Structure 1
Amino acid sequence: MCTVTYIPTLDGFYFTSSRDEKASRATIPPTQYQVDGIDLIYPKDEIAGGTWIAADYNGRTACLLNGAFHNHAKQKSYTRSRGLVLLESFKHKSIHEFSNVVYLNDVEPFTMISLIHLPGIRSEFTEFRWDGTSKHLRRLDICKSQIWSSATLYSSEIQLQRTAVFKEWIAKFKDVDGRNILAFHSRKHGLDTSHDIIMKGEDDLMTLSISQLHFKNGNLVFRYYDILNDKVHVTEL
């Protein structure tokens, strides 16, 4: 929800998402659900019912971060959860189609990273931002490692620092696997405690879990690391 990395490999990719949230906010570990007739797997936020990372059984994945480009002034209430908007995107053939038709008035700003990866057929790697007024869609390079940080928690300056840390780590580890990507997400890198990759801020805010989607040779594995309760959940799709 608050730090997402994408790392391509010779035979697939890794999507890894850290959830920075208040420890009191309850979460259901990844479970298989059927949403509008589509089989999905995702961890669920108990309060809003949505999610920040999900995958279907065809190699399609999506991650969501709070905020668009900058921190925003929150409204007293919103009509729909951003996490439910992410689930809605799976009903559409492409994010381009979804972005054209989805109604987002009174939805809080967000950034959604989506990868539709159908080997031998097509791939669509996109970044979709809603800033509260306008939609912004751009195509991403599927061959390039990238990091995103939530605009609601991390200023533009801090995001640049986190990106520099990620680039330095990528340069050091030419051959990555799920374990050392997890190590990147689960340790400190010399930044301020409230700004580091694994963070701890005020009001019980901290990195609660790390979700990792690993696509390899047509197979998808969902690993969920519950940091708060020291548990690991692994599901093969």
Structure 2
Amino acid sequence: MCTVTYIPTLDGFYFTSSRDEKASRATIPPMKHRIDGIDLIYPKDEIAGGTWIAAGYNGRTACLLNGAFHNHVKQKSYRRSRGLILLESFKHKSMYEFSNVVNLNGVEPFTIISLIHLPGITSEFTEFRWDGTSKHLRQLDIRKSQIWSSATLYNSKIQLQRTALFEDWIKKFKDVNGRNILAFHSTKHGLNVSHDIIMKGEDDLMTLSISQLHFNNGNVVFKYYDILNDKAYVTGL
């Protein structure tokens, strides 16, 4: 939930998300869930019951990052998990609709990257940020490779360094494939160990897993790499 990349291809795209979290935080590998009549596939956080990345059988995917624009002062408790907010967004036809109606009072700041994609049609690619006070929604360029880093772990200077690493990588690997982008997410790139793409910080904080959604001509493959336990899962939609 702390590093997300989007890479378009001729026939679809790659969404890849690294989860930087305490090693003690238990996770259930991705599987199919049905929520209010909507079929989704996602890994599940055992504590809060939500997720940081999910794909719907209706051609939609969404990724969550902690924080909005800057690090915030954490409250003792919050009304609802951000991972559950991500799942709730799938009940709505678009992020525009969702952002207008969702009640985020008492919810910790977050960023959601959402893409609605059907074969031959891309109807919506958005970035939705909640800073604890206001909602911010903007349309994204479907043709542009992009990276996002969690504002709670990486300040603006570090985010720029990570963006530069990603842009250099894109230039180097013009023929992008899933293996290459997974290598980007799972490799040390020379930054401080607590700031690198695969990171290890204080209090047992580290990159625990990498999730990847590959959309290709209407087919979807969900790859999940449990780094801590050295296990891999591959599921098709």
Superposition TM-score tier, normalisation by shorter sequence: over 0.9
Task: Indicate the residue corresponding to 1:73 in structure 2.
Answer: 73
Determine helix, strand or coil for the equivalent of 2:128. strand
Q: Are the equivalent residues in 2 in contact too, given 1:7–1:145 (CA < 8 A)? A: yes
Superposition deviation, residue 122 in structure 1: 4.1
Match of 1:140 in 2: 140
Residue of structure 1 equivalent to 2:47: 47
Could you tell me which residue of structure 1 aligns to residue 229 of structure 2? 229
- The equivalent of 2:97 in structure 1 is 97
Q: Which runs of 5+ in 1 are unaligned?
A: none
| TM value normalised by structure 2 | 0.99
Q: Structure 1 length normalisation: TM-score?
A: 0.99
> Once superposed, which parts of structure 1, at least 4 consecutive aligned residues long, lie more than 6 Å away?
none
Q: In 2, Cα distance between the equivalents of 1:121 and 1:44?
A: 29
Q: How far has the Cα of 1:121 moved from its partner?
A: 4.2
Q: Distance in 2 between matches of 1:28 and 1:125?
A: 28
Asked if the contact 1:225–1:232 (Cα under 8 Å) also holds between the matched residues in 2, the reply is yes
Q: 1:175 aligned to 2:175?
A: yes
| Structure 2: distance between partners of 1:213 and 1:32 | 14
1:26 and 2:20 are equivalent in the alignment: no
Give the drift of 1:120.
Answer: 3.5
* Aligned partner letter, 2:27: T
Q: Distance in 2 between matches of 1:177 and 1:122?
A: 20
Counterpart of 1:51 in structure 2: which amino acid? T
1:150 aligns with 150
Count of matched residue positions in the alignment of Structure 1 and Structure 2: 237
Please tell me whether residue 13 in structure 1 is matched to residue 13 in structure 2: yes
Secondary structure of 2:189 counterpart: coil
d(CA) in 2 for partners of 1:5 and 1:122?
A: 18
Q: Percent of aligned positions with the same letter in both sequences?
A: 86
Separation in 1 of the partners of 2:124 and 2:83?
21
How far does residue 58 in structure 1 lie from its aligned partner after superposition?
Answer: 2.3
Q: CA deviation at 1:57?
A: 1.0
Q: Per the alignment, in what secondary structure is the counterpart of residue 233 of structure 2? A: strand
Cα deviation, residue 119, structure 1 = 2.6
